[in-house]
Each structure stands twice: as C-alpha cells, then as structure tokens.
Amino acid sequence: MRFTRVHGLILVNVALLGALALVSLSPRAQAQDRRRSNYLLASGFSKNDSAEALWIVDQGNQEVIAVTWDSNRNELVGIGYRDLNADAGVLRRGRSN
C-alpha cells in the first residue's frame, strides 16, 4: 500500500487529537485554583519613608501588598504583605478574651 497525502493528513490529525487529549485530561496546576478577584488601589506615604507607596488590595483572596517605585532601578519594590483573613482571625480572638 502506498503512503499518500491522505494517509499523512490522517496521521497528523490523530497526533493532534492525542496532544489535545493529553492537555485536556492532565491535572490542573495548583495556581489555577485561586479565585478571580477585584482589586482596590490606594496611594499615599508610608510611615517610615518619604517616598509614595501604593497599596493593592486583592478583595477576592483577602490579601494586601504594599509597593513603592524605585526610580534608580525602574521597578516596583515590595514593602510588605498582609493576609486579611489571618488579621481578622487575630482580631476576633482578641475581642473574645
């Protein structure tokens, strides 16, 4: 039997179908389980620094990150991070005592 173009196209389609099945049936990455979020931004000055800071609140994951701009390196530099759920738990425990 001769190998024709039709046989080649069938072979390529089978290979593509196998690749699609492999990608579709593989387990999800852990990072994809995070919830979609709304973000709130606030700017101002931090206590210990004269540079302006930007606070980014991730409302869906209840997290806050503070950053400032480093003009020497032309990049954002992280100042701090807080988990709002953990903070709320500390406040609740503090009130009940």
Contact, 48 vs 28, CB < 8 A? no
Measured in Å, how far apart are the chain's first and last C-alpha atoms?
85
So what's the pLDDT on residue 13?
95
Cα(94)–Cα(97) distance, rounded to whole angstroms? 6
What integer pLDDT is reported at residue 91 of this predicted model? 59
| pLDDT digit string, tens, across residues 43-73 | 988 777 677 899 999 988 889 999 988 889 9
For the chain, what are the domain ranges?
5-96
Q: Taking the complete model, does pTM exceed 0.75, yes or no?
A: no
Residue 69: count other Cβ atoms within 10 Å of its Cβ: 14
> Residue 34: pLDDT above 60?
no
